[in-house]
Amino acid sequence: MSEFAASGGALRLEGLSKSFGHTRAIDDVTLDVPPGEFVSLLGPSGSGKSTILMAIAGFVALDRGEILLDGKSVHGLTPERRNFGVVFQGYALFPHMTVAGNVEYPLKLRGMGKAARQAQLERTLDLVRLGPLAGRYPRELSGGQQQRVALARALVFEPKVILLDEPLSALDKKLRLDLQLELKALHERLGTTFVNVTHDQEEAMNMSDRIVILNEGRILQTGGPEALYNAPNTRFVADFLGRTNFLEGDLSPAGNGLVTLRRGDEAFDVPEPDGGIGGGDLAYAIRPERISVGASDLAGDDYCTLRGRIASVVFNGAQILYRVETAFGEVLAVEPSYGAGKHLLVGEHTTVRWARDAGALLER
Amino acid sequence: MNRPYYFFVLPAVALVALMFLLPLGWLAALSFGLPEGFTLEHYEALAGSSGIRSMLWNTVRLVTITTLVSLVLGYLVAFAMAHLGETQRMLLTLFVLVPFWLSVLARALAWLILLRHNGLVNEALTGAGLIDRPLQLVRNELGVIIGMVHFLIPYAVFPLFAAMMTVDRRLVMAARSVGAVPWRAFIDVYVPVTLPAIFGAGVLVFIFGLGFFVTPAILGGGRVVMLSEYISVSVLQTLRWAQAGALSMVLLVSVIALVWLVARAIGFRRLTGVG
């Protein structure tokens, strides 16, 4: 399919740990990345995601743990011998070389002959649609073009794994979306294993086969974008990936696998969590887009209902965002802006409803 | 806009005009035979005199060697400074700066004490049995170069250090990630990226070197005569002021040409994408 001979490598991280002083930057991280997967390490700044990537690339010495490529440890290999393609944050293009010079440099280092080098250069530049810009210097390129040069330089020697460190963070929002789709298409075409580091949940969701959520150096949850979004296992994940309402109150068993969440004179029944309600600091997590405002046609035992008052209405084009004051505090609800009939107004009394199993009780 | 403030700089301007520009203009006038009448004979005499030609050539040659040595040593020091920890960097900066603050005369004499026949260096080497006879380290070109390099290294170190601190560390990492061993990344990426600073520091050192006067006089022992010393002798001892004026103009024009080159180097810097 592709003119590139590259095939993905299987990457395995085994119990990686790294401390800087008293700070644990990476804390016992184990992860299997099958060949050809696009995996994103997603977390806030300081979550250790970049340190993990730089450890894979060979720039950070680990305290403990093993990194294996296709079953073979890369331990003790210097960065230049690991043969991973790295796209650095800010791209780190060589300013004194043209686009062609930048992309060709890895091939020169490998002692490739001139003709073969030229052919591979052209192939790679075509792949990222940079052919006409081959003679330009990096400073003469737009951010998006620089990003593609960095990608081409990382791809040109056909590495088995590409490591991307916040590859799109320097770009504006619209361009970022275009390049996300481009990067994903490129990944599908090449079949190379991609490990991407980002703090942008949307970017991670748009591109990845699988997302690894990190916080304080630890993996919190791993899964496909949909699985993670629909079934976060902690409040941190629910909050970090998309927006979530957390409703807190007194819990009591209600039978039939349900528990009652009560606050003041308002209460609703929700499914009992696997671990029961005995221990832990539980809150009911419900996504804003699962909540309907003022919909009287949703009724019955399977629905949860709260009374409230509209505190604010924001129209953002595709959606309408309502903030509704309830006994459980402010609840955010997002409705599609089309076909909503009349918009509710600030101060109106209304109800918010959602299907009981649309949310779940999560531990902190 | 703030007219009263212009008066604040007047004393300084007056001082420079009176003490510097006026004598300089007068010297220039002398070199063209003024006020008696305009003539280029003093410049023709410069070009005609083989002694002066060889002195000029010696000056350029010695300053070039000095500049190259200062750049190489300065680059190493600056590189160490840019990549060491905070404490070591402070110490190193101090080691570069302390001699920099000492008088040129004191430094030249100190080198003389170290390098002369019965100086510390020769004593140590003969004492250790490494050489039979003392080496001729001073009162020759070698001595002049040692003294000048020592004086000029800070002028090379600081611009280079400033440039190195702005080099994105990820550039070298990127080179290594695509397969360059450390020295290769250094040669292929680090040095070219700092090239404008090397060029700028080189011109700076060269200009300062051209004006050297005390160091060659003391460490050259009268055997190595350079341009500035020659001018000084012409003014103070042989009283050939017109000739001194002509030589000064040659020096001044060369320096202005070099400064222009530095200005061009800024453009050069843009060309290479740094800064």
b/e per residue A107-144 (b: at least 16 CB within 10 A): bbbeebeeeebeebbebbbebbebeebbeebbeebeeb
Q: What is the pLDDT of residue B273?
A: 39
Among A94, A121, A166, which would you mutate to test the B interface (most chain B Cβ atoms within 10 Å of its Cβ)? A94
Among A60, A81, A83, A96, which would you mutate to test the B interface (most chain B Cβ atoms within 10 Å of its Cβ)? A96
DSSP B136: -
Helix (H, G, I), strand (E, B) or coil at B63: helix
Alpha helices, H only, chain B? 3-16, 22-31, 41-48, 50-83, 86-101, 104-115, 120-127, 141-165, 169-177, 182-185, 191-210, 214-219, 227-236, 241-271
Q: What is the pLDDT of residue A340?
A: 57
Interatomic CA distance for residues B11 and A2, integer angstroms = 76
Contact B273 A95 (CB under 8 A): yes
A59, A94, A137 member nearest B189 (Cβ): A94
The answer to whether the CB of A214 falls within 8 A of the CB of A27 is no
In this prediction the ipTM stands at 0.82
Q: Counting Cβ atoms within 10 Å, is residue B273 exposed (0-12), middle (13-18) or buried (19+)?
A: middle
What are A's interface residues with B at a Cβ cutoff of 8 A?
57, 59, 78-80, 82-86, 88-90, 92-96, 105-106, 109-110, 137-139, 153-154, 157
| A88 interaction partners in chain B (CB closer than 8 Å) | 170, 173-174, 177
Interatomic CA distance for residues A319 and A306, integer angstroms = 22
Domain boundaries B40-272, corresponding CATH code: 1.10.3720.10
Q: What is the pLDDT of residue A253?
A: 82
Contact A85 B179 (CB under 8 A): no
B178, B184, B272 member nearest A96 (Cβ): B272
Determine phi and psi for A167, rounding to 5 degrees. Answer: -65, -25
Interatomic CA distance for residues A145 and A131, integer angstroms = 11
DSSP A215: E
A275-317, pLDDT tens digit by residue? 777 766 888 899 998 988 877 666 677 888 888 899 888 888 8
Paired sense of beta strands A210-215 and A38-42, if any: parallel
Domains of chain A: 11-240 (3.40.50.300), 246-363 (2.40.50.140)
Q: Which strand (E) or helix (H) includes residue B228?
A: helix B227-236
Please tell me the distance in Å from B87's CA to the nearest CA on chain A. 18
Interatomic CA distance for residues B229 and A254, integer angstroms = 103
DSSP B36: T
Q: What is the pLDDT of residue A339?
A: 66
Q: What is the pLDDT of residue A161?
A: 95
Instruction: From B135, B143, B103, select the one nearest B223 (Cα to Cα).
Output: B143
Reading phi first (left if > 0) and then psi (alpha if -120 to 50, else beta), residue A67 is in beta
Residues in chain A predicted with pLDDT less than 70, given as ranges, are: 1-6, 279-280, 296-299, 339-342
**B193 vs A: CB within 8 A:** yes
- The contacts of residue B193 (CB under 8 Å, 6+ apart) are A94, A95, A96, B167, B171, B272, B274
**B180 vs A: CB within 8 A:** yes
User: Chunked in runs of 10, what are the mean pLDDT values of chain B (275 residues)?
Assistant: 78 90 90 84 87 89 95 96 91 89 88 88 88 86 91 92 92 95 95 90 89 84 83 87 90 86 62 39
Instruction: From A213, A148, A144, select the one nearest A176 (Cα to Cα).
Output: A144
Among B177, B188, B191, B270, which would you mutate to test the A interface (most chain A Cβ atoms within 10 Å of its Cβ)? B177
Residue ranges per structural domain of chain B: 1-37, 40-272
Q: Distances from the Cα of B254 to the Cαs of A120, A264, B209, in angstroms?
A: 49, 89, 12
Paired sense of beta strands A11-20 and A161-165, if any: unpaired
Interatomic CA distance for residues A39 and B25, integer angstroms = 74
Paired sense of beta strands A360-363 and A245-247, if any: unpaired
Contact A92 B188 (CB under 8 A): no
Strand partners, B253: none
Vertex A169, ends A167 and A174: CA angle to 5°? 105
The answer to whether the CB of A42 falls within 8 A of the CB of A211 is yes
Q: What is the pLDDT of residue A252?
A: 83
Interatomic CA distance for residues B216 and B231, integer angstroms = 13
